[in-house]
Amino acid sequence: MIGEPRLGDVFGEMIRDAYAVATGVGPRPLVGGRLPRPVIEIIERDDGLVNGAPTEHYLAGPADWQPYDRRAVDRVHGRTLDVGVGGGRIALHLQERGVPVTGLDTSLGALRVCRHRGLRDLVHGTVDEHAADGPRYDTFLLLGNNVGLFEGRERAPAFLAALAALARPGARIIAHGTDPYGTTDPVHVGYHELNRRRGRLGGQLRLRLRYRELGTEWFDYLVCSVAEFAELVHGTPWRLTDVDDTDAPYYLATLTLRR
Ligand SMILES: C[S@@+](CC[C@H](N)C(=O)[O-])C[C@H]1O[C@@H](n2cnc3c(N)ncnc32)[C@H](O)[C@@H]1O
């Protein structure tokens, strides 16, 4: 249909261009301009809201991280799976520190950038697919707001079961989330209400990403309060053992595998 995006690896194309702008390496170092310009992630929500977000932070080193990212990596122990590794910023830092780390992502383009940046151990696919491969981990990272990958009430139990299947005894999940409910913006408050009316969690976003001519399918990405998060974890193989909300509305939740 005219005007509809072509389905493709939006995140991968975007991160490839962001990497090219940052380093000069890649097919579009100037992103089609005469001077370098920022690569913007276009996020469409199903109420019609469109947001643009700069992408350099996906490649940033520890000096430019938010404080909760630094506290998250300090909690890592043992063999680590970075779930939704993106441009590899966290996994690369861990690898440099000698931590055995694997980066997993559904975006081939993102994994290509990670490999070019020197990240050695990479897996393409979902946690469910990786569970069949056999490796076991002590730490799972869900950073860069990747509590989002819980999606909502339907997906969360299966997602946590897949992580449990990949876990060694005593394993932990360190997940970064954002409480969306502090806002007074009527557009967001109205969207949360709409979601609840249709039986979804208030911050269960229905999104599509766009970059240039490409778009993703519509998918659910969860932003939720700590109380909602605790509710999703209840009855799964995981226990919520710590919440660090020093930088509220952002939080780091630690889940520990039940014995
Ligand atoms: C918001 S970015 C976060 C990237 C990285 N964790 C960071 O902190 O910079 C989300 C990443 O998760 C990946 N992703 C999305 N859905 C996924 C899934 N079901 N399984 C694994 N990775 C996924 C995306 O391709 C993207 O690289």
Encode pLDDT of 113-168 as tens digits: 999 999 999 999 999 999 999 899 999 999 999 999 999 999 999 999 999 999 99
| Ligand 1 atom with minimal separation from the 86 CA | 27
pLDDT at 37: 76
Arithmetic mean of pLDDT, 73-96? 98
- Does the CB atom of residue 89 touch ligand 1 within 6 A? yes
pTM over 0.85: yes
Handedness of CA 211, 151, 227, 46 (dihedral sign): positive
Q: Chain centroid to CA 249: how far?
A: 17
Per-residue pLDDT at 92: 98
Tell me how far the alpha carbon of residue 91 lies from the centroid of ligand 1, in angstroms: 13
Q: Output the pLDDT for position 34.
A: 66
- Is residue 185 scored above 90 in pLDDT? yes
Share of the chain above pLDDT 90, in %: 91
Q: How far is the CA of 130 from the centre of ligand 1 (A)?
A: 15
Per-residue pLDDT, averaged over 165-186, amounts to 98
Please work out, in degrees rounded to the nearest 5, the angle formed at the alpha carbon of residue 149 by the alpha carbons of 147 and 150: 75
Q: How many Å apart are CA 214 and CA 12, to the nearest integer?
A: 11
Give 116: exposed, middle or buried? Use CB within 10 Å, 0-12, 13-18, 19+. Answer: middle
Give the pLDDT of residue 1.
60
In this structure, are residues 66 and 250 in contact, taking their beta carbons and an 8 Å threshold? yes
Q: Over 70: is that where the pLDDT of 246 sits?
A: yes
> What pLDDT digit, counting tens, does each position of 247-259 carry?
999 999 999 999 8
Task: Determine phi and psi for 253, rounding to 5 degrees.
Answer: -105, 135
33-48 pLDDT per residue, tens: 667 778 999 999 999 9
Q: From atom 1 of ligand 1, which residue's Cα is the shortest distance away?
A: 144
pLDDT bin (cut points 50, 70, 90) of residue 108 is very high
CA separation for the pair 245, 178 (Å, rounded): 10
Q: Which of 25-39, 145-159, 207-221 has the lowest mean pLDDT?
A: 25-39
Average pLDDT over residues 85-107: 98
Which residue is associated with the tokens 């932003």?
A: 223
Whether residue 31 is predicted with pLDDT greater than 70 in this model: the reply is no
Q: Tell me what the pLDDT averaged over the chain comes to.
A: 95
The pLDDT of residue 99: 98
Check if 84 has its Cβ closer than 6 Å to any atom of ligand 1: yes
pLDDT, residue 38, reads 84
Specify the pLDDT at position 259.
Answer: 84
Phi and psi dihedrals of 28, rounded to 5? -130, 65
